[in-house]
Amino acid sequence: MHSDAFDRYHHGHSLIHHIDPRVKVILTLALIVSNVMLPDGAWPAFTLMWLVLLILNRVSGLGFWFTFARSFIALPFALAAITVLFSPQGNSVLSIKILMWNLMISDYGLIHFASIVVRSWLSVQIAILLVATTQFPDIVHAFKHLHVPAILTTIIAFLYRYLFVLVDEVLRLLRAREARSAAASGSRSAGGVLWHAKVAGNMAGQLFLRSYERSDRIYNAMLARGYQGQMHTLNPHHYHLSDWLTLGASSILIIILQWIGRL
């Protein structure tokens, strides 16, 4: 498989693509923290944040709705917060009778729930913009500069590099299983749950051994090419004037967002 199947990076030459990865990582984190700090029901601030995101989308050349279209991944988790709808605080807006339960949705619960969902939805969009405009090795490199321990960044770099190879292995294993157990998927004709679990477990074990042996070969190949425990990059990072300007502008944006949110 080609690595593009997983890569979230979209090549481009926009202003945003050219910002230093360290600056982009810090700004992403700062904007998400700012989102999380906004109080419940700060709709003007949430709206402003979203408008800024749309503009950034446009500037990055990915299209106005790019991050919006990919942002629904976080919504299933909203179910976990659904109980706040029935919060005992505030006035009731709507009451639902389910069997013997009398569930009341309060105005406080409604605002609280909507704010949680909007915060996470905006945060996901910011993170999507980061990975769409920054190559993943550059992000990892940025984390290394930001004093994340070298062992972690090196392992993450390896993980990223070999993910594609091992996913290929998994796809081969899955194809082999399908080829050898025609009616297995979903139907009981091929055996019970235990049988399915055993097959899946054997596949995981098989994958483990293949990965283990592969890592040995990788290490030997790397030694042969002069590996000394360090990863090097061909994209050295330098701060430019535009990076400082971006940092300054974003700090002002965050202050404005927090100010509007607390009006």
Partner 1 sequence: MLFSPAPPMHIPDGFLSLYVSAICWLVTILVLSLAISKTNQSLGERQVPLMGVMAAFIFAAQMINFPVLGGTSGHLLGGALAAITLGPWAGMIVMTAVIAVQALLFQDGGLTVMGANILNMGLIPVIVGYGFYRAVLNRNRIAKLAVTGVAAWLSVMAGALFTALQIWLSGHAQLDVIVPAMLFVHIFIGIGEAMITVAALSFIMRTRPDLLGEESESAKAGGGWVLIGLAIALVVILLSPFASSDPDGLERVAINLGFINTSNAAVYNILPDYSIPLLGQTSSSTIAAGVIGVMVVVGLAYAAGRFLQKKKV
CA angle 170, 219, 161 (to 5 degrees): 45
152 lies in the site for partner 1, by CB under 8 A: yes
**124 belongs to the binding site for partner 1 (CB under 8 A):** yes
- Contact flag: residue 259 with partner 1 (CB under 8 A): no
Residue 156 within binding range of partner 1, rule CB under 8 A: yes
How far apart are CB 11 and partner 1 at their closest, in Å? 16
**26 belongs to the binding site for partner 1 (CB under 8 A):** no
Site for partner 1 in 162-221 (CB under 8 A): 162-163, 165-167, 169-170, 173-174, 184-186, 193-194, 196-209, 211-212, 214-216, 218-219
# residues near partner 1 by CB under 8 A: 96
Applying CB under 8 A, among 47, 83, 233, 242 the residue interacting with partner 1 is 83
Q: What is the rounded (10 degree) CA torsion for 156, 66, 129, 232?
A: 50
Residue 102 or 235 having the CB closest to partner 1 = 102
Q: Quote the radius of gyration of the chain (alpha carbons, Å).
A: 24
Interaction between residue 222 and partner 1 (CB under 8 A): yes
Q: According to the binding rule CB under 8 A, does residue 5 interact with partner 1?
A: yes
- The 3 state secondary structure assigned to 12-58 is CCCHHHHCCHHHHHHHHHHHHHHHHHCCCCCHHHHHHHHHHHHHHHH
H/E run at residue 256: helix 241-261
Give the range of 15-23, 57-65, 77-85, 250-258 binding partner 1 by CB under 8 A.
Answer: 77-85
Could you say whether residue 123 binds partner 1 (CB under 8 A)?
A: yes
Residue 55 Cβ, how far from partner 1 at the closest point, in Å?
21
User: Measuring CA to CA, which residue among 234, 235, 231 is closest to residue 154?
Assistant: 231
Sign of CA dihedral 111, 116, 119, 120: negative
What is the sign of the dihedral through the CA atoms of 105, 108, 111 and 114?
negative
> Exposed (0-12), middle (13-18) or buried (19+): which is 45, by Cβ within 10 Å?
buried
Going by the DSSP 8-state scheme, the letter that residue 93 receives in this structure is: E
Nearer to partner 1, 14 or 87 (CB): 87
Q: Which of 3, 47, 89, 251 binds partner 1 (CB under 8 A)?
A: 89
Within residues 32-71, the interface with partner 1 by CB under 8 A covers: 32-33, 35-37
Q: Which is nearer to partner 1, 217 or 238 (CB)?
A: 217
Q: How far is the CB of 261 from partner 1 (least distance, A)?
A: 14
| Secondary structure class of 105 (helix, strand, coil) | strand
User: Which of 43, 50, 68, 160 contacts partner 1 by CB under 8 A?
Assistant: 160
